[in-house]
Amino acid sequence: MISKKMENMVANSSAIRAMFEEGNRLAGIYGKENVFDFSLGNPNVPAPASVKDAIIALLDAEDPVVLHGYTNSNAGYEDVRQAVAESLNERFGTAFSANNITMTVGAAGGLNVVLKSLLNPGDEVVVFAPYFGEYRSYTNNYDGVLVEISPNTVDFQPKLDEFEQKITPKTKAVIVNTPNNPTGVVYSEETIKKMAAILEAKQKEFGTEIYLISDEPYRELVYDGVEVPFLTKYYANTIIGYSFSKSLSLPGERIGYLVIPDEAADSEKLIGAANVATRILGFVNAPTLQQKLVKACLNEKTDISYYDRNRETLYNGLRELGFECIKPEGAFYLFVKSPVEDEKAFCAAAKEYNILIVPGSSFGCPGYVRLAYCVAYETIVNSLPKFAELAARYQ
């Protein structure tokens, strides 16, 4: 009785989620401390203490009718949007105003709002493998067609030659995600400049507008002082989708924003469409208490040093065991080469040691596996002997 589109979706339901549930099952049998669950990107570093303080201060100071009420615009509270704009301007030298900001139900909500606003059936959306598998579903929601660029497994920067070839008159959008899930790679400024040049040339060639959608839940999670280029400065038709899920460890609260710059083609209509899409997709507005909260905490962020220690320990530990992996510069994922071609078999083998990892096929990149290291440090330390046993099977 369910819709045909959903029949397939339910059947293929997220491998990541299934793995997570498997983790709970194993924890029930072997004890939580004996299961090494690297399957889900659910931050394990608590929200900064200022989050609790800010919520209580808001409850004390604000009129509950306003604090919990519908916002005047579906885009969110004017003061929150203005504060987000000013914070971006200060950090990146941009010139946004409240009008350029739409508060969203996380980055996932924001991406849906953008794609609903942009896509006609058959429009193409380009992604670079490996990519967050949900982009396929989001694109499919609006009858768009996902076009994959094959992975560059040397350094996981996007393959720009293939990109150039695969842009067509039907290309409406390109999604990038840097720092990247699942590789942790940050696209370099050189990459971004070349990508922008290709897009400009193709727009001219086809007489079209191609929107570059930058999905940025991991913007603040970078290590070793790496700089993440701010994309609106390189390409006019850039739309940013941000989330506070990771930067403030609030993934369940569903709060983020879109930036639609004035420089983007048809920006006024697009901002209007984002407003309407926010309403009719049923978001109505981003959760109001969370909007006010992130305004209060715009200068806060989660304790990155915790993830950094995990990164170093897991990366070095696995390398010593002979696993191949690029060192991530951001996010909280390690993308490890499977010692056998069929990485699903490798994931199944890992499960025999109570190690839960996600096959790269879920990200359009078979032959690799993803480990989310947003886990307890002890989990990493205690997992290494198990990884050693696992590695021994492949020597």
Taking CB under 8 A as the criterion, which residues in 7-46 touch a copy of itself? Answer: 9-10, 13-14, 17, 20-21, 24, 40, 42-46
Strands 101-104 and 256-259: antiparallel
Q: Name residues contacting a copy of itself, limited to 270-329 (CB under 8 A).
A: 270, 272-273, 275-277, 279-290
Q: Are 109 and 115 in contact (CB under 8 A)?
A: no
Q: In whole angstroms, how far apart are CA 262 and each of 10, 94, 268, 277?
A: 39, 11, 7, 19
Shortest Å distance, C-beta 84 to a copy of itself? 17
Q: Are 186 and 228 in contact (CB under 8 A)?
A: yes
- Does residue 109 interact with a copy of itself by CB under 8 A? yes
Shortest Å distance, C-beta 186 to a copy of itself? 24
- Does residue 71 interact with a copy of itself by CB under 8 A? yes
Count the residues of the shown chain that bind a copy of itself, applying the rule CB under 8 A.
Answer: 85
Helix axes 106-118, 134-141, angle to 10 degrees: 40
From 54-62, 338-346, 358-366, 379-387, give the range in contact with a copy of itself by CB under 8 A: 54-62
What the block records as the tokens of 53 is 């303080």
Shortest Å distance, C-beta 369 to a copy of itself? 21
Q: Name residues contacting a copy of itself, limited to 197-216 (CB under 8 A).
A: 209, 211
Q: Name residues contacting a copy of itself, limited to 141-160 (CB under 8 A).
A: 141-142
Site string (234-263) toward a copy of itself, x via CB under 8 A: ---------------xxxxxx---------
Contacts of 168 (CB under 8 A, 6+ apart): 124, 206
Q: Euclidean distance between the first and final Cα of the chain, in Å? A: 50
Sign of CA dihedral 282, 285, 288, 290: positive
- Does residue 163 interact with a copy of itself by CB under 8 A? no
SS3 291: helix
Which CB, 264 or 347, lies closer to a copy of itself?
A: 264
Name which position in 19, 26, 35, 51 contacts a copy of itself (CB under 8 A).
Answer: 51
Which CB, 138 or 315, lies closer to a copy of itself?
A: 138
Contacts of 86 (CB under 8 A, 6+ apart): none
Which CB, 6 or 29, lies closer to a copy of itself?
A: 6
- Residue 216, beta-bridge partner list: 242
Identity of residue 304 = I
